[in-house]
Amino acid sequence: MSLLVLTLIFPLAGAIALSLFPRMPDNTARTIGAGSVGLAALVTAIVMVFWGANGGYPYIQTLWQWIAVGDFDINFSLYLDGLSITMMGVITGVGFLIHFFAAWYMVHDLEGDPGMARFFAYMNLFIVAMLLLVLGDNLLLLYLGWEGVGLCSYLLIGYYYKTPANAWAAYKAFVVTRIGDVFLAIGLFLLYTVFGTLNIQTLLHEAPQVWNQGGVMVNVAAVLLLLGACGKSAQLPLQTWLADAMAGPTPVSALIHAATMVTAGVYLIARTHGIFELAPAIQELVGVVGGLTLLIAGLAATAQTDIKRVIAYSTMSQIGYMFLALGVGAWQAAIFHLMIHAFFKSLLFLTAGSVIIACHHEQNIFKMGGLRKTLPLDYWLMVIGGAALAALPLVTAGFYSKDAILWEAVANGHGVLWLFGLVGAFITSIYTFRMIFIVFHGEQKIHAEAGRGIPHHLPLIVLGVLSTFIGALIGQPLDGVLPSGAVEDYPWIEIIFEVISSVVVLVGLGVAAALFLGKRQLITQATEGGPGRKTWLFFNSALGFDWLYDKGFVQPFLWVARGHRHDWIEAIVNVVPGLASIGNSGLSAVQDGRVRWYAMVMFAGTAVLLAVLMFG
Amino acid sequence: MTGLPIQYGMGLAALLFIAGLTGLVVRRNALFVLMCLEIMLNSTGLAFIVAGARWQAPDGQSMFILIIALAAAEAAIGLGLLLQLYKRFRTIDIDAASEMHG
């Protein structure tokens, strides 16, 4: 069990080695980068076995005392329970598969340019930070990991920093998530002021004794935590950064912006579920945020032309489902969907990466078309992943996780949220198969070369298998950590609702086939001009949130900043550097190297001193 | 001792000192600068001697020996510097060696 810390040490050692020797050969960098995460995954498996054999009790490993100032006492200790071990499995397991794939992908993406070691150094550092986030036993350690993953996300979005657009995308992601982080930090201050500790288990234990159900303070604390989670998980109102984050290499999108980091918000809310249960109104708000985001992101995904942006919006939408699940009290279903989503979404991203490389860095789906015959493996994997995303009944993993959420929403009396989820499922089905039909069916418009080799095939196939119903068989030891939320009293009604959502998904598939298979005349005519075109543009810009924020926040801020560039405070403040500047030029004129002048000044000074002494 | 008042001796020393100082500040020829320095040192020596004679104390004479030794060392180093200055700049104008342009 004390092996637990090794899961942090291996990737950390990898990151340090890779950053100390950035000029190492590419093959060495790939081996270290993928190998360190592989070792971490192995250790995680061992820890899982031991932990299960010991009866699955929470295990705390205290490494050292981190901060001790007066009463403020923070330990650097890791907390292992059913929730964190599930997250660890996802992070190291899926993380290793993505690193393994990246070893293939980056060779083709860099095409001989330097930067392999830099890429894997950032990726390994990300794994360390993400593990810290889920393993920290106090909120400050969680916050350290939280900021660490934000930093790695920034570095990796801007990985190709020579293109200014990528740097701006990284900047945007950093700033928008930072807004959420500030709220989270304020939330931590609030919790510490009230409880005098940041230890999560103590907090959850003491919260019901200190706070009344639905009190003001607990509502404020829950809202602050929710806003922090919204920033990291790209939920309304802080959702605008995720689509631009696709500027990073595709394995980054798979690892950070699909499987792990963006689900940190879900983890945070699940981890602090006790506080949200004391604030039912805010918990309801979590569900509403999720429901709205899943609809907005779903609509945006129907009008994208970039294959990665389609998948990015689908990620936002799926995390919306997780928030919806948290909001209706389906805690375990949320984490279950988190794991399944990590499988199929990283599959979709990696397959998209494979397609992009095969098409020589082409990302526009309308320039691809008909790749079914040249890329059969990618086609079938994309179908498996897409089916899991759309939750096709019975055979896919997504069906089991998503329907658990929808059923528990309706069973816990949240009919409106259930309707949101159902409409979202319909849209999901449309945009997923729209993408598949446009990319892989119709006439072929581009020359493509299929990827080869074990690092290309193996991660894709493993993730493909996990995206089918086999992935849904993986149990999660969440009992005792999170309330189940499951309602099993009405099995017949549950089946009726499952049939309803299955029918909706299949109808969505039919609509997508009718619109996007064949010559696509109907949809082309509808979006060519007039209101159809406007709707398309509206959806394409993700319902205009970027425009709204630009007009509402960015422009006013810049206007105020411009207005205050030459105000009277500035004038007063500028006196200090002005005086310093005058003094500088005066003194430097004196030090001109003319020794006779020095002598003169020295004697004049002495004379003045003497005069003062004699007559003063 | 003689009845020469101390003001005379001290006045001579002050005049010599000011003459040396003026030369030091005004002249640019390094050789003259060195000579002016010698004059200033000797004027202080004279001041010590006069003071020693006035109060019948040997300190003034010993200070003078010290100043002579110092002046000898100073002359040796100064002439060395002067030779180097000439070697580098082909002139003994001390302002030519100023490269700081402060």
Residue type, A110: L
Pick the more confident residue, A613 or A544. Answer: A613
Q: Are B25 and A590 an interchain contact pair (Cβ–Cβ within 8 Å)?
A: no
Residue type, A455: P
Find, among A301, A311, A276, the residue nearest to A542 by Cα.
A301
The number of C-alpha atoms within 13 Å of A82 and in the hemisphere containing its C-beta is 18
Whether A282 and A193 have beta carbons less than 8 Å apart is answered as no
| pTM greater than 0.95 | no
Which B-chain residues 71-100 have CB contacts (< 8 A) with chain A?
94-95, 98-100
B101 vs A contacts (CB less than 8 Å): 592-593
**What does the pLDDT average to over B77-96?**
88
B99 vs A contacts (CB less than 8 Å): 593
Helix (H) or strand (E) holding A166: helix A164-195
Find, among A509, A277, A249, the residue nearest to A361 by Cα.
A249
Average pLDDT of chain B is 88
Contacts of B29 (CB under 8 A, 6+ apart): B92, B93, B94
B9: closest CA of chain A, how far (Å):
20
The alpha carbon of B41 is separated from its chain's Cα centroid by a whole number of angstroms, namely 3
pLDDT tens, residue by residue, A56-96: 788 888 888 888 888 888 889 999 888 999 999 999 999 99
Which residues of A have a CB under 8 Å from any CB of B? 588-596, 599-600, 603
B99: closest CA of chain A, how far (Å):
7
Distance CA A345, CA A554 (A): 32
Q: Is B21 on the interface with A (CB under 8 A)?
A: yes
List the single residue in A590, A593, A603 with the smallest CB-CB distance to B98: A593
HEC secondary structure over B5-19: CHHHHHHHHHHHHHH
Pick the more confident residue, A460 or A544. Answer: A460
Three-class secondary structure of residue A76 per DSSP: strand
pLDDT band at B102 (very low <50, low <70, confident <90, very high): low
DSSP A105-155: HHHHHHTT-S-HHHHHHHHHHHHHHHHHHHHBSBHHHHHHHHHHHHHHHHH
pLDDT tens, residue by residue, A215-257: 888 999 999 999 999 999 989 888 888 888 888 899 999 998 8
Identify the pLDDT of residue B2: 58
DSSP strand pairing (A72-80 vs A59-69): antiparallel
Identify the pLDDT of residue A184: 93
B95 vs A contacts (CB less than 8 Å): 594, 596
Q: Are A596 and B28 an interchain contact pair (Cβ–Cβ within 8 Å)?
A: yes
Strand partners, A468: A396
Q: Give B66-73 contacts, CB < 8 A, sequence gap 24+.
A: B67/B41, B67/B42, B70/B41, B71/B38, B71/B41, B71/B42
**Helix, strand, coil % over all residues of chain B, rounded to 5:** 80, 0, 20
pLDDT tens, residue by residue, B70-86: 999 999 999 999 999 89
List the single residue in A589, A596, A600 with the smallest CB-CB distance to B102: A589
pLDDT tens, residue by residue, A493-520: 888 888 888 998 899 989 888 888 877 7
Cis ω on the peptide bond leading into residue A491 (within 30° of 0)? no
CA dihedral for B47, B48, B53, B54, sign (positive or negative): positive
pLDDT tens, residue by residue, A293-343: 999 999 999 888 889 999 999 999 999 999 999 999 888 889 999 999 999
The number of C-alpha atoms within 13 Å of B52 and in the hemisphere containing its C-beta is 15
Identify the pLDDT of residue A239: 86
- Tokens, residue A122: 């950032």
pLDDT tens, residue by residue, A8-36: 999 999 999 999 988 888 888 889 999 99
Helix (H) or strand (E) holding B96: none
pLDDT tens, residue by residue, A346-400: 999 999 999 998 888 888 888 887 888 888 888 999 999 999 998 888 888 889 8
CA distances from A339 to A258, A333, A409, A507, B54 (A): 11, 10, 19, 26, 105
**What does the pLDDT average to over B95-102?**
69
Distance CA A365, CA A351 (A): 14
Identify the pLDDT of residue B100: 64
A614 vs B contacts (CB less than 8 Å): none
Q: Is A210 left (phi over 0), alpha (psi -120 to 50) or beta?
A: alpha
Q: Mutating which of B82, B89, B100 best tests the A interface, going by the most A Cβ atoms within 10 A? A: B100
Distance CA B54, CA A203 (A): 92
Identify the pLDDT of residue A451: 80
pLDDT tens, residue by residue, A521-539: 777 777 777 788 888 888 8
pLDDT tens, residue by residue, A528-570: 777 888 888 888 888 888 888 889 888 999 998 888 877 888 8
**What does the pLDDT average to over A480-491?**
74
Residue A40 has pLDDT above 90, yes or no: yes
Identify the pLDDT of residue B3: 67
- Tokens, residue A494: 């549950």
pLDDT tens, residue by residue, A410-455: 888 888 899 999 999 999 999 999 999 888 888 888 888 888 888 8
ipTM comes to 0.79
List the single residue in B21, B25, B100 with the smallest CB-CB distance to A593: B100
A593 vs B contacts (CB less than 8 Å): 98-102
Whether A276 and A330 have beta carbons less than 8 Å apart is answered as no
Whether A11 and A125 have beta carbons less than 8 Å apart is answered as yes
Three-class secondary structure of residue B102 per DSSP: coil
b/e map A115-128, b = 16+ CB within 10 Å: bbbbbbbbbbbbbb
pLDDT tens, residue by residue, A120-134: 999 999 999 999 999
